[in-house]
């Protein structure tokens, strides 16, 4: 039976070790709840770090931990203290976390941390591979494991891999500062489905992939190493009923059942007829904007002194990563700000800020959510922010108002909240006043919309939607009909070659025999290629043809004295052996002087592009230009050129980062047919990478071995992944002949 494997940095278990006594409790966090449906259904396993360092466990204890967590359907990845320092606190929390939240000044780039990040991702991969078979589904979570999808895919290509990022993906301009940006993107691209909280993060990611890796992207699909993978946004929800039911139960509590905290909260509310409370809850993290929030509250009290002695601000800051210097500084800053503001405004009966630096039990969280009229949640950047959603879910009477930062992913779906810019104190102060004075009907209207959405798109629904989308990516691979050349197909190919009386080998040049370069002139044949082509040409009963869109001058320079058969400009000219060039087609070229100036205006407006003028065609190359701008301009140029061509003698075609305008009745298919008509070939092999080669694939007889370079839509029967594979395949012909 196929399994589902969830992988996250930490296991969803609280494991404590006291004098060799082990206690294990399941975590109650949002992710654990969301994954319940995935984790409980059928065969499943959760892989992650147990929270216990390798050094603290002897063999006996380690076995004990492993067997205890196995009972919870979990498996542990073992991490040392040094892994934690370098991989977790180092690369994950000092490089990726600040950079992805746009805190570039806190970001460190340390080679040692990167090495450890790679090693630990490898450790995770080893554990995953131990437990995985073909056909399994694997869901990897978050920024600590960006390299994992690729590491798994390499070893187990027949698994479905999903990846979800819980934090923002930054804009290309920020992401590109990372020294290891290519490796990180390639790591993520091992997945079949990549999920983000919002469309903004998704488009930032796609833009980085397009610009840094220069891959082809079609809407939200990326073609990469012969696979098509999909990118989408899945805004994470909460366990709505858990919060809503807890609030209903809370509201029914008798005075004796109330917690001490609740009693203190009630006392404040009863201290004045219009006493109100503003709540803020977050981990003490610089991304959450706590100092800004405190300063904005101070500004509010200065600007609207009528709220003094009435409004109390409750700040719950949960300790987090407290051994990291930035977090220690933040703690100091927060302590000082609270002290200063309380000192400035406090009266004998009133302290404006109640500050808690600790984690609270769930029941107290509900006390806070249900007692505060306003939630003030103002992160500077936040992937989603679940606290905002939890607050709304507990407002069972539909009153209360959420003031939320635009910089939280949650703001995208919570339009009915009062949205603010966390850096604009004026706006925060005015919005707080508006929230505190908002008529109840308006509060009810806003919250009922918000609640409906939170109930519908709960964390369970989120997990199910992601899994559904991941299953759907399996269909993507079936769209391409050509088959990868396997050892069996290779054997059949070489057998036919060996047994043939007369062979024809048709080779496209750019993107097939050599890789693309920024300038067409730079893609010269290298000595190894000459050697390979010479040997092929010298095979008995073999006609070797290079068939290309290049002009005859370039090919004369590169191959003029080589004696190969050359067909250039898509089939306009033929050169057979050492004979002179011969025109296969008689073509007009008077249209060129009219259309060239049109293309020139596109060159002027699109930096990095240029015109290649061939004898009978014009090509506009945009490989080196900004990919997004170039794609827009290419669409525009195609429309403009098509509208200018009134007869059917010319066609506008889009190739691999090139738009070419050429005579309609010239193509590689026609040229190849001429060759076929001349001799009786019983072995035909053709290979090429773009649309111009498709004419050839279509024209050749069914039994021909037609091969596409790259996994793209094609009429070819087979495909190989790269120019390196092309050369290897061709070398195989030589071995067959015993050379
Ligand atoms: C990351 C991303 C994204 C908080 N204090 C207490 C407590 N909590 C619970 C809340 C909430 C969770 O912790 C915090 O979740 P957030 O989403 O607000 O923030 P991060 O921890 O930074 O999470 C974030 C999230 O991943 C999910 O993808 O939304 O953007 O940064 O559930 O209720 N729980 C208890 N006591 C506390 O004192 N029991």
> Coil, strand or helix: which one is 12?
coil
Ligand 1 centre distance from Cα of residue 536 (Å): 64
DSSP E strand stretches across 524-591: 542-547, 565-568, 573-575, 582-583
Does residue 397 lie within any of the structural domains?
Answer: yes
Distance (Å, rounded) from C-alpha 666 to C-alpha 692? 10
Indicate which atom in ligand 1 lies nearest the CA of residue 379: 30
Residue entry with tokens 């949002």:
30
Does residue 133 lie within any of the structural domains?
Answer: yes
CB atoms under 10 Å from CB of 668, counted, come to 25
Indicate which atom in ligand 1 lies nearest the CA of residue 382: 30
Ligand 1, atom 34, residue with closest C-alpha: 362
Indicate which atom in ligand 1 lies nearest the CA of residue 359: 38
Same domain, 291 and 364: yes
Does residue 105 lie within any of the structural domains?
Answer: no
Ligand 1 centre distance from Cα of residue 386 (Å): 6
DSSP E strand stretches across 635-712: 650-654, 658-663, 683-688, 705-709
> Coil, strand or helix: which one is 77?
strand
Ligand 1, atom 23, residue with closest C-alpha: 385
CB atoms under 10 Å from CB of 91, counted, come to 27
Phi/psi-derived region of residue 219, left when phi > 0, alpha when psi is between -120 and 50, beta in every other case: left
Does residue 404 lie within any of the structural domains?
Answer: yes
Q: Note whether 612 and 519 are within 8 A (CB).
A: no
| Ligand 1 mutation pick, 92, 239, 384, max ligand atoms within 8 A of CB | 384
Indicate which atom in ligand 1 lies nearest the CA of residue 383: 30
Residue ranges lining ligand 1, Cβ < 6 Å: 30, 166-167, 236, 281, 283, 316, 318, 359-360, 362, 365, 382-387, 390
Same domain, 358 and 385: yes
pLDDT of residue 313: 97
CB neighbour list of residue 170: distance below 8 Å, 6 or more residues apart:
99, 100, 101, 102, 204
Angle ∠(558,564,569) on CA atoms, nearest 5: 65
Ligand 1 centre distance from Cα of residue 587 (Å): 70
CB neighbour list of residue 270: distance below 8 Å, 6 or more residues apart:
none
Q: b or e along 576-590 (b: 16 or more beta carbons within 10 Å of the residue's beta carbon)? A: beeeebeebbebeee
Same domain, 499 and 629: no
| Ligand 1 mutation pick, 28, 376, 385, max ligand atoms within 8 A of CB | 385
CB atoms under 10 Å from CB of 561, counted, come to 7
Does residue 111 lie within any of the structural domains?
Answer: no
CA 473 to chain centre: 15
Domain boundary among 178, 209, 233: 233
pTM > 0.75: yes or no = yes
Same domain, 355 and 499: no
pLDDT of residue 738: 45
Same domain, 411 and 546: no
Q: Note whether 97 and 167 are within 8 A (CB).
A: yes
Same domain, 208 and 63: yes
Same domain, 603 and 562: no
- What the block records as the tokens of 329 is 């500084």
Same domain, 652 and 670: no
Same domain, 535 and 653: no
CATH number for the domain spanning 552: value is 3.40.50.1000
Ligand 1, atom 20, residue with closest C-alpha: 385
CATH number for the domain spanning 362: value is 3.40.50.2000
pLDDT digits (tens, 9 = 90+) for 103-144: 999 999 999 999 999 999 999 999 999 999 999 999 999 999
pLDDT of residue 29: 65
CA torsion, points 418, 243, 6, 142, in degrees to nearest 10? 30
Given 142, 192, 508, 693, the catalytic residue: 508
Is 690 one of the catalytic residues?
Answer: no
Does residue 439 lie within any of the structural domains?
Answer: yes
CA 100 to chain centre: 13
Indicate which atom in ligand 1 lies nearest the CA of residue 197: 28
> Coil, strand or helix: which one is 217?
strand
Angle ∠(295,301,305) on CA atoms, nearest 5: 165
pLDDT of residue 739: 43
pLDDT of residue 673: 94
Q: Which phi and psi (to 5°) does residue 175 adopt?
A: -60, -35
Distance (Å, rounded) from C-alpha 503 to C-alpha 542? 5
| Ligand 1 mutation pick, 169, 327, 387, 405, max ligand atoms within 8 A of CB | 387
Same domain, 540 and 413: no
pLDDT of residue 301: 98
Q: Which phi and psi (to 5°) does residue 315 adopt?
A: -115, 110
Ligand 1, atom 26, residue with closest C-alpha: 166
Ligand 1, atom 4, residue with closest C-alpha: 282
Ligand 1 centre distance from Cα of residue 30 (Å): 8
Q: If DSSP states are collapsed to H, E and C, what string results for 295-331?
A: HHHHHHHHHCHHHCCCEEEEEEEECCCCCCHHHHHHH
Same domain, 612 and 725: no
Same domain, 658 and 674: no
Q: pLDDT under 50 in the chain at which residues?
A: 738-739
Element containing residue 193 per DSSP (H, E): strand 193-196
- In angstroms, the first-to-last Cα distance of the chain is 49
Indicate which atom in ligand 1 lies nearest the CA of residue 236: 28
Question: Residue 290 sits in which domain range?
Answer: 240-456
Ligand 1 centre distance from Cα of residue 237 (Å): 12
Ligand 1 centre distance from Cα of residue 457 (Å): 18
| Ligand 1 mutation pick, 244, 386, 414, 458, max ligand atoms within 8 A of CB | 386
Q: Number of structural domains, the chain?
A: 4
Domain boundary among 233, 266, 300: 233
Does residue 83 lie within any of the structural domains?
Answer: no
Ligand 1 centre distance from Cα of residue 391 (Å): 12
Ligand 1 centre distance from Cα of residue 93 (Å): 16
Ligand 1, atom 1, residue with closest C-alpha: 166
CATH number for the domain spanning 617: value is 3.30.70.1020
- What the block records as the tokens of 390 is 């939890």
Ligand 1, atom 19, residue with closest C-alpha: 385
Ligand 1 centre distance from Cα of residue 387 (Å): 6
Does residue 469 lie within any of the structural domains?
Answer: no
Domain boundary among 439, 456, 473: 456
pLDDT of residue 481: 60
CA 708 to chain centre: 27
Indicate which atom in ligand 1 lies nearest the CA of residue 409: 30
């Amino acid at each position: 039976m196929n399994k589902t494997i969830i992988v996250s940095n930490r296991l969803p278990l609280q494991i404590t070790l006291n004098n060799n006594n082990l206690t294990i409790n399941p975590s109650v966090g949002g992710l654990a709840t969301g994954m319940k449906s995935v984790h409980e259904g059928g065969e499943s396993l959760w892989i992650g770090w147990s929270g216990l360092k390798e050094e603290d466990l002897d063999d006996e204890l380690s076995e004990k931990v492993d067997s205890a967590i196995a009972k919870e359907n979990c498996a542990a990845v073992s991490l040392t203290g040094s892994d934690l320092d370098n991989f977790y606190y180092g690369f994950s929390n000092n490089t990726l976390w600040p950079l992805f939240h746009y805190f570039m000044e806190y970001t460190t780039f340390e080679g040692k941390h990167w090495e450890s990040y790679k090693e630990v991702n490898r450790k995770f991969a080893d554990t995953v591979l131990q437990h995985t078979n073909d056909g399994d589904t694997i869901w990897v979570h978050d920024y600590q494991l960006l390299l994992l999808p690729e590491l798994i895919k390499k070893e187990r290509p027949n698994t479905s891999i999903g990846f979800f990022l819980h934090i923002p993906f930054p804009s290309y301009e920020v992401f590109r500062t990372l020294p290891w940006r290519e490796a990180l993107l390639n790591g993520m691209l091992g997945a079949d489905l990549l999920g983000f909280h919002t469309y903004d993060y998704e488009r930032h990611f796609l833009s980085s992939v397009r610009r840094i890796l220069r891959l082809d992207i079609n809407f939200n699909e990326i073609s990469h190493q012969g696979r098509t993978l999909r990118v989408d946004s899945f805004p994470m929800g909460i366990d709505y009923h858990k919060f809503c039911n807890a609030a209903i139960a809370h509201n029914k509590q008798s005075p004796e059942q109330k917690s001490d905290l609740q009693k203190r909260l009630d006392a404040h509310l009863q201290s004045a007829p219009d006493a109100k409370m503003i709540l803020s809850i977050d981990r003490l993290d610089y991304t959450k904007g706590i100092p800004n929030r405190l300063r904005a509250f101070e500004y509010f009290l200065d600007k609207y002194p009528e709220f003094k002695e009435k409004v109390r601000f409750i700040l719950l800051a949960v300790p987090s990563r407290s051994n990291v210097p930035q977090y220690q500084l933040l703690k100091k800053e927060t302590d000082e700000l609270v002290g200063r503001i309380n000192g400035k405004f406090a009266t004998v009966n009133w302290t404006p800020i109640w500050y808690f630096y600790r984690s609270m039990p769930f029941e107290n969280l509900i006390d806070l959510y249900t007692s505060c009229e306003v939630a003030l949640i103002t992160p500077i950047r936040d992937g989603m922010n679940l606290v905002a959603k939890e607050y709304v879910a507990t407002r069972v009477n539909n009153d209360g108002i959420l003031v939320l930062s635009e910089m939280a992913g949650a703001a995208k779906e919570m339009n009915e909240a009062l949205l603010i810019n966390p850096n604009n104190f004026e706006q925060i102060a005015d919005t707080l006043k508006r929230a505190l004075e908002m008529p109840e009907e308006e509060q009810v209207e806003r919250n009922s919309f918000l609640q409906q959405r939170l109930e519908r798109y709960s964390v369970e629904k989120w997990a199910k939607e992601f899994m559904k989308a991941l299953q759907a990516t399996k269909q993507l691979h079936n769209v391409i009909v050509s088959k990868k050349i396997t050892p069996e197909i290779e054997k059949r190919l070489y057998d036919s070659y060996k047994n043939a009386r007369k062979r024809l080998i048709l080779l496209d040049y750019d993107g097939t025999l050599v890789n693309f370069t920024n300038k067409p002139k730079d893609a010269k044949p290298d000595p190894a290629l000459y050697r390979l082509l010479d040997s092929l040409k010298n095979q008995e009963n073999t006609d070797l043809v290079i068939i290309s869109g290049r002009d005859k001058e370039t090919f004369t320079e590169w191959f003029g004295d080589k004696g190969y058969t050359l067909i250039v400009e898509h089939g306009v000219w033929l050169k057979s052996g050492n004979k002179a060039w011969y025109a296969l087609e008689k073509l007009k070229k008077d249209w060129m002087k009219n259309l060239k100036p049109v293309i020139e205006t596109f060159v002027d407006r699109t930096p990095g592009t240029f015109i290649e003028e061939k004898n009978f065609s014009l090509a506009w190359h945009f490989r080196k230009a900004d990919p997004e701008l170039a794609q827009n301009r290419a669409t525009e140029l195609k429309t403009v050129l098509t509208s200018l061509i009134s007869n059917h003698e010319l066609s506008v075609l889009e190739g691999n980062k090139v738009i070419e305008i050429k005579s309609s009745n010239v193509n590689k298919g026609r040229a190849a047919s001429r060759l076929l008509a001349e001799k009786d070939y019983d072995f035909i092999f053709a290979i090429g990478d773009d649309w111009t080669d498709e004419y050839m694939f279509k024209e050749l007889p069914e039994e021909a071995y037609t091969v596409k370079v790259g996994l793209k839509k094609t009429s070819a029967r087979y495909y190989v992944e790269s120019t390196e594979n092309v050369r290897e395949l061709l070398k195989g012909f030589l071995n067959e002949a015993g050379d």
